[in-house]
């Protein structure tokens, strides 16, 4: 049965999942990369960069789980890029170059229509103007029997969790305090929403916690 998941989502000890002032120079926000120090050294991430090195082990196992086996992805527009408002042209095609890491239909939430973009490796970006329910419906149709990943950013994850659509959440809790940024669970009662901890694995760089309903 298809499940909707959040996976590999970094969060600080004080509950932030992105830094402040996200921009072309700081796609994760100022200090945001500190949340992903568990991910950057892994073999999984290094392969995304076209490298053949990287660490294996527990962090890499969670990295693999966070990227593989999904039949569709849903991203907020900020996760796709820093462009705001109407699309000025067709030049921006995401942060990842010609071969994005998704390798599956990927649905971008936006208020502004844009034609689909077919990339290398099986990724096609579809731009959805009808909100989270329309994006989920189209992702379900595209995913078949595979799972769907809500890839972020923070507000997109919050909307899907609060709407009751997310079956499983994998958080990589980084041993850092950001002080400010985008709070992931502010004002949200995860227990009332039915979530319980089903997995808890500490590593040198993060604590991996999986919540499920």
Q: How far apart are CA 169 and CA 147, in angstroms?
A: 13
Residue 92, domain member (yes or no): no
141 lies in which domain range? 4-15+31-82+98-212
pLDDT of 131 strictly over 90: yes
pLDDT at 50: 87
pLDDT of 49 strictly over 90: no
Residue 21, domain member (yes or no): no
pLDDT at 183: 97
- Across 2-13, average pLDDT: 98
pTM of the model: 0.96
In the Cβ-directed half-sphere of 184, how many Cα atoms lie within 13 Å? 24
Q: Are 157 and 6 in contact (CB under 8 A)?
A: yes
Domain CATH for 187: 3.40.430.10
Reported for 164-167, long-range contacts at CB under 8 A and 24+ positions apart, including other chains, are: 164/193, 165/4, 165/132, 165/136, 166/4, 166/5, 166/6, 166/213, 167/3, 167/4, 167/5, 167/212, 167/213
Residue 65, domain member (yes or no): yes
Residue 180, domain member (yes or no): yes
Residue 163 phi/psi, 5-degree rounding, is: -80, -5
Residue 91, domain member (yes or no): no
Residue 88, domain member (yes or no): no
pLDDT at 56: 96
Number of structural domains the chain divides into: 1
Residue 20, domain member (yes or no): no
Residue 52, domain member (yes or no): yes
Q: How far is CA 208 from the centre of its chain?
A: 15
Of 50-54, 200-204, 208-212, the poorest mean pLDDT is in: 50-54
């Amino acid at each position: 049965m298809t499940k909707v998941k959040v996976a590999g989502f970094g969060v600080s000890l004080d509950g932030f999942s992105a830094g402040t002032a996200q921009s072309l120079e700081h796609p994760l926000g100022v200090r945001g990369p500190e949340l992903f120090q568990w991910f950057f050294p892994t073999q999984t991430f290094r392969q995304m960069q076209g490298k053949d090195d990287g660490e294996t082990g527990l962090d890499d196992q969670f990295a693999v789980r966070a990227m593989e086996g999904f039949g569709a992805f849903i991203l907020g527009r900020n996760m796709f890029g820093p462009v705001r408002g109407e699309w000025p042209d067709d030049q921006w095609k995401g942060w990842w170059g010609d071969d994005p890491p998704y390798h599956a239909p990927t649905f971008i939430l936006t208020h502004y229509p844009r034609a689909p973009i077919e990339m290398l490796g099986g990724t096609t970006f579809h731009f959805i103007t009808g909100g989270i329910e329309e994006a989920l419906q189209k992702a379900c149709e595209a995913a078949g029997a595979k799972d769907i990943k809500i890839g972020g950013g923070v507000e997109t994850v919050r909307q899907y969790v609060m709407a009751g659509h997310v079956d499983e959440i994998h958080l990589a809790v980084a041993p850092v305090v950001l002080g400010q940024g985008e709070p992931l669970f502010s004002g949200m009662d995860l227990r009332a929403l039915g979530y319980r901890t089903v997995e808890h694995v500490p590593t040198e760089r993060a604590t991996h916690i999986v919540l499920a309903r």
